[in-house]
Amino acid sequence: MTDLLVVTAVPAEAEAVQAGLDGSTVVVVPVGVGPAVAGAATARLLAFAEAAGRPYRGVVSAGVAGGFADRVAVGDAVLGNRSVAADLGAESPEGFIPIDELGMPPELLGCGPTVPADAELLATLRTALPSATVGPVLTVNTVTGTAASTEALRRRHPDAVAEAMEGYGVAVAARHAGVPFVELRTISNPIGPRDRDAWRLGDALAALTTAAVALR
């Protein structure tokens, strides 16, 4: 059995993770942006490893994220205790309806809109990263960029700490493969009205390198 598989969205995140590994056997692969491509690519990597007789011990979805300002600060590390498909569902005059409340047969929902992190893997990383904030990480297809949409997310997910674009897709791939999963993020910007100039990607990537030491 090989070590962890760490998947990121973009090469810059993969490079930041690799910089903290110092020759570790952890495999780091940038798989693309968004839950669909990240999930498909992760499933392919897991299938190839299993077919080769060297299945991965666990999967980590890692990278930068936006954080809810009252929960985390820019540069903080976040561990997702569950990954949530925050916009998977339907709009209605009464508000957003999560997919598991639409009356579909359970067998059509697969993993459902929430995938919990593997308890043992999460506990190991919590021990290695005692200052990390632990909580739900939302997966969105459209990055939140207004005060109204930020407030809507807060109402639907009051305990969420961050949002990103890949975690849920990677979590579903790991769940179907029977491989432990967890999400690790570092915060580059507060969630809210879009202000690209205020993003501190350099700080978040440096924090990701520091946090990646825990993945050894």
- Give the pLDDT of residue 108: 64
Can you tell me the distance from the alpha carbon of 85 to that of 31, in angstroms, rounded to the nearest whole number? 18
Domain housing 46? 4-215
Can you tell me the distance from the alpha carbon of 72 to that of 163, in angstroms, rounded to the nearest whole number? 11
0.85 exceeded by the pTM? yes
Structure tokens at 7: 């998947």
- Give the pLDDT of residue 107: 61
Give every residue of the chain whose pLDDT is below 70, as ranges. 1, 105-109
Cα–Cα distances in angstroms (integers) from residue 201 to residues 54, 63, 65, 197, in the given order? 34, 10, 9, 10
Per DSSP, the residues of 83-106 read EEETT-EE--TT--EEGGGS---G
Structure tokens at 75: 């540069």
Can you tell me the distance from the alpha carbon of 166 to that of 87, in angstroms, rounded to the nearest whole number? 13
Q: Coil, helix or strand for 16?
A: helix
Looking up tokens 């077919």 gives 51
- Residue 112: CATH number of its domain: 3.40.50.1580
Residue count of the chain, please give it: 216
| Count: domains in the chain | 1
Looking up tokens 């993003």 gives 199
